Structure 1
Amino acid sequence: MEQAIKECCPTFHPEKWDEKTFNWSQKKFIKASVPTLFHIPLPPMIGKKVTQMMKLAEDSKKLSDDKEEILLLFNDPSAFKSELYLSVTDTVTEAENITLSGTFISKVFDGAFSAVPKFMKQMDTYLAQQHKKANDYYVHYAYCPKCAKKAGHNFMVLFAKLE
């Protein structure tokens, strides 16, 4: 059994997320964005933005009590912008509130941030075997960099929004 991470991130259980289908109807998130340079965000900017988002959600008591259910999704609509989506239980004042709806298929990968394009191609192959196709991708990183180092894994969940 994997030892619990003694940092800020809950222990990740890949089997909960690997090759699963989620049908989200108006799933609530708060949204923020950070600039990127060819899809590479500046780490201090991400940390600052995530901290701000978590504080808004925690202060309004709209963060799930079950830390394993909290999703922080990343989506890159362009090479120069990354959008962050933090799952919440209800509307958070002073935040940009949005919802996501649709069918999402998830798959777990373990590797460096730079491998995301390769993982997306593997996900496309996996979806094609099921006669499905993604029209967008969201990535959830299971651990922050400190916790990933301690765990010895850099798990990420790719969520493919189906067409």
Structure 2
Amino acid sequence: MKLNRAGVLRSIRRAVRAPHAAPVPPIDTLALIERHPAFQTGGSTVQTNAIPHYDMSVNTTGCCFKFNPDGWDAQEFHFRDKPFVRAKTHSLMHMPVDMGRVFSRVQKHMEDAGAVDASNTIVLSRDTSSFAGEHLFAVSKAVPEEEMTTLSGDFVTKVFEGPYQEARHWHEDMAELVRARGVEPKSIWFFYTTCPKCAKAYGKNYVVGVAEV
């Protein structure tokens, strides 16, 4: 069954607002959603805060792993207070100027803290202006010396492949993907899986769009 958390949420909210003979006690909406039949696939419940496995089996550059897109396209994520390290970068008309330095710092601190896990690896990035970027690094525990935050919500994914210059078009594609569900996108992020040098070496530049519904 194709999961549609936004539709389930709207159904639950309508049910909660319906007239009742007696007062209705407060409802933990997220917990109720997770138990809804629409979230059952193969007899098991979709896992909260789960993301696809990040394949670390190939690294011929000594830098980025060769990204395996299997299992990343057309997915639905359900985050509930999922922990991330939050970092900021500077840009010049959307072109990052210190991303390498910032990412290296965060990665080292994550490794020192033992917070890196192949089953929990994703970096969500977005431009907050023409001169700044925001990046969320998924972690399994708190990372000293870095700003911690959490993320909650429902998200859909789409895998793109091509030059970074296409990001503007990818952003609109993600917005339309969400609108096709009858809602407006709340936030749109991208997981840039490979740096430019490694993308050239591997011959592919995969980018995963992640949009909140």
Q: TM-score, normalised by structure 1?
A: 0.88
Moved beyond 6 Å, runs of 4+: none
Shift of 1:130: 2.6
Q: Which of the residues 76, 80, 85 maps onto 1:25?
A: 80
Could you tell me which of 106, 112, 118 is aligned with 2:157?
106
Match status 1:39 vs 2:94: yes
What are the Cα deviations for residues 36-94 of structure 1, in whole angstroms up to 9, with x where unaligned?
A: 1222212xx11110000001111111111x2x641122121222210121111011111
Which one-letter code corresponds to 1:28 in the other structure? P
Contact 2:87 2:135 in 1 (8 A): yes
User: Which residue pairs with 2:131 in the alignment?
Assistant: 80
Query: Could you tell me which amino acid in structure 2 is paired with residue 6 of structure 1?
Result: T
Structure 2 unmatched runs, 5+? 1-56
**Separation (CA, whole Å) in 2 of partners of 1:129 and 1:120:** 14
**Of 95, 104, 109, which residue of structure 1 is paired with 2:146?**
95
Q: Which has the higher contact order (CA 8 A, sep 6+)?
A: 1
Structure 1 61/4 Cα, relative in aligned 2: closer, same or farther at 3 Å?
closer
- Once the two structures are aligned, what percentage of the paired residues are identical? 30
**What residue in structure 1 maps to residue 106 of structure 2?**
53
**2:99 partner letter:** I
Q: Which moved more, 1:109-118 or 1:10-19?
A: 10-19
Report the count of equivalent residues.
Answer: 156
Give, as a single letter, the amino acid of the residue that structure 2 aligns with 1:95: E
What do you get for the CA RMSD once the two structures are aligned?
1.7
Counterpart mapping for 1:56-71 below 5 A: 56-64=109-117, 66=118, 69-71=120-122
Other structure's SS at 1:135 match = coil
TM-fit CA distance, 1:132: 3.4
* Equivalent residue number for residue 47 of structure 2: none
Aligned residue type for 1:154: N
State the alpha-carbon separation in 2 of the partners of residues 95 and 122 from structure 1: 32
Matches of 1:116 and 1:13, distance apart in 2: 20
Kept after mapping to 2: 8 A contact 1:5/1:150: no
Distance 1:48 1:78 in 2: 20
TM-score with structure 2 setting the length: 0.68
- Alpha-carbon shift at residue 35 of structure 1 (Å): 1.4
Contact kept? 1:5, 1:151, Cα under 8 Å:
no
Q: Secondary structure at the match of 1:25?
A: strand
